[in-house]
Chains A and B, each alone.
Chain A
């Protein structure tokens, strides 16, 4: 009995004064795949941080909350973390809509935010004047910058000039499509087709016929995972002669890489388990050891990097003073699974982590995703089908 009491007292004492980080993630709802992946990343980082002595000499504590991928749930959960659970710092954040919804309370409580997701530009507007907003994920305009950079390389190396664009008619595909077309034209490409489609309809026959007539060098599609297989099937059936099929769905269908139809289709990712960086290999090994498998969701390493760098900044600051931690985090310069992480200004925010240069371009080759660009990270040469 005495032993139990003593253990209890010791545990209570060890956690007293511990630094608490609130983590707001979509653990249910539309964005839950990314949210659950991020949760694993945080848990892995927490293990490593606490094994290495914790933060400010105490075990770091995480308080998870589920925003349900909904602004109406995110606001109360955020306020609960800040006012009831009294967390010292906030991390997490995947969806743009939920992130904007909490921008009000975040400013009201002057909350320190180390934010991993929410790439839409309105989020940048919402947090433009927030002193303690550290954004890790590239903003959406960096995504396009990365794609344009890759296509420019194809223009030089493969004489690719003609681009056919197929985009889904929802917000994901349609957002900024006019700017996309204008940017391609400005970069010297001929946009030979711009066609919208209904995601999930599965009927790509007319669209591919039109693309065939337009004779593009690059077929660029912006849609969801459900469109990948029907589109690939139609391209094969109609024998569309194109140098590269390039897609940017938020995630690819499970097992897509094992389907022969996926061969040579290219895409974009912030990270791949096969990424060659030493930090990535370390992360994959640690993740496999803890969870018994490997994830392909880049939100897992992103969350991992997020917590590790935040913990390091608190330790460096020697306390939880927000200004000191912000100064320490702003000075971060560390290798990560995505490449080196430093913070610099974006268009509107003060502390932006990863940018266009961190995106990897991959191609499905032989039952896997193989990085093909930037050249320094390429593991195999890109297959150009023309």
Chain B
């Protein structure tokens, strides 16, 4: 109890732990909640589809960022995302979707503990390579399961989430994003923040400060992979089909990383904002520059990272610490 009080005191002294800091995030969710009811005319259905995939991208980016806060720059996000998708596809044959969804995420979370334990002593590039190899291992295992179980290399059909109702699927995705944001805030404003930051800045120092490296690193892995797997469930239940090559592709590990960097690392709003801006920018470029829009998109991304080293959140920061939500 005293620990909690101490943590609360520490947190309450921080300049950004004020109601005002939550305003942008609350506004985002209010807008997102109202989005399907906006008078968007003929474009409403189309924009709702874009919004769904934007929200999923936000879930992935923010879940990746939570792990990165503990200094673990992972390239295994595709593995957990894929485990969520496959777990859901297989479990939903036996249990209702609302059970299959958390169970699939739980499986991914438990598997992540294995990876976390194995890579405990690795850092930097070695850690990244190990996580990349882990994704390949998971992909190979899934692909070599009997075709009658996981579809083999052909892939398998997935039951539609919520009967394929686009609006209901969007609200479910938004609920998952809200959960991810709440978890992120919980990490940000509890002792976990200090523990993760200490580990990120130097494990030796963290150890001297009494931080249990093993416990916190594994916890970061579990939280991050659980949430990433929920993203995988949303994707699979939306697109009705998964196969090992695309589900476990490197792109699914890289996208959350670039999105988080673009939005602002170690923040809650940053990765969500990053996902929104990138997806909307991509769609606008796609509609107006039919050929070569990806070149323009890439250039915009590169320039943004060069000019905004702290991401989009850097634009809102006042001074050194303000607005680090």
Give me the interface of A with B, judged by CB distance under 8 Å. Answer: 27-28, 64, 66, 68, 71-73, 75-76, 79-80, 83-84, 86, 96-97, 100-101, 103-105, 107-108, 120-122, 125-126, 170-176, 178
Contact = CB atoms under 8 A, between A and B. Distances in A.
User: Chain A CB within 10 Å — which of B45, B238, B283 has the most?
Assistant: B45
Contact of A97 (B44, B49, B151, B155): B155
Contacts of B46: 76, 79-80, 83-84
A97 B153 contact: no
B164 A108 contact: yes
A174 B143 contact: yes
B216 interface: no
B86 interface: no
25 contacts: A28-B294, A64-B290, A66-B286, A79-B46, A83-B44, A84-B46, A97-B239, A97-B241, A100-B157, A103-B240, A104-B164, A104-B240, A105-B166, A108-B164, A120-B154, A120-B155, A121-B154, A126-B157, A126-B241, A171-B244, A172-B153, A175-B152, A175-B154, A176-B152, A178-B147
Contact of B49 (A76, A176, A178): A76
A66 B286 CA distance: 8
A287 to B, nearest CB: 20
A216 B151 CA distance: 31
B49 A79 contact: yes
A104 B241 contact: no
B154 A171 contact: yes
User: Chain B CB within 10 Å — which of A83, A108, A176 has the most?
Assistant: A83
Contacts of A176: 147, 152, 154
Given A72-B235, A75-B49, A104 B154 contact: no
Given A28-B294, A101-B240, A171 B53 contact: no
A173 B153 CA distance: 8
Interface string B145-171: 001000111111100100010100000
B240 A100 contact: yes
A134 to B, nearest CB: 20
Interface in B12-61: 42-46, 49-50, 53, 56
User: Do most interface residues of chain A lie in helix, strand or loop, or is the interface mixed?
Assistant: helix
A68 B291 CA distance: 11
B294 A97 contact: no
Nearest to A168: B153
User: Do most interface residues of chain B lie in helix, strand or loop, or is the interface mixed?
Assistant: helix
B72 interface: no
B42 A83 contact: yes
Contacts of B45: 79, 83
A122 to B, nearest CB: 5
B245 interface: yes
Contacts of A100: 157, 239-241
A26 to B, nearest CB: 13
A75 B238 contact: yes
A351 B3 CA distance: 69
A159 B34 CA distance: 71
Contacts of A27: 290-291
A122 B157 contact: yes
A76 B239 contact: no
B243 interface: yes
Nearest to A81: B46
A312 B25 CA distance: 55
A101 B246 CA distance: 13
B156 A122 contact: yes
Nearest to A123: B241
Given A100-B241, A101-B241, A104-B164, A125 B157 contact: yes
Interface in B241-256: 241, 243-246
A73 B246 CA distance: 14
A17 to B, nearest CB: 18
Contact of A122 (B164, B241, B283): B241
Contacts of B286: 66, 68, 73
Contact of B243 (A66, A73, A80, A171): A171
B240 A126 contact: yes
Contacts of A79: 45-46, 49, 166
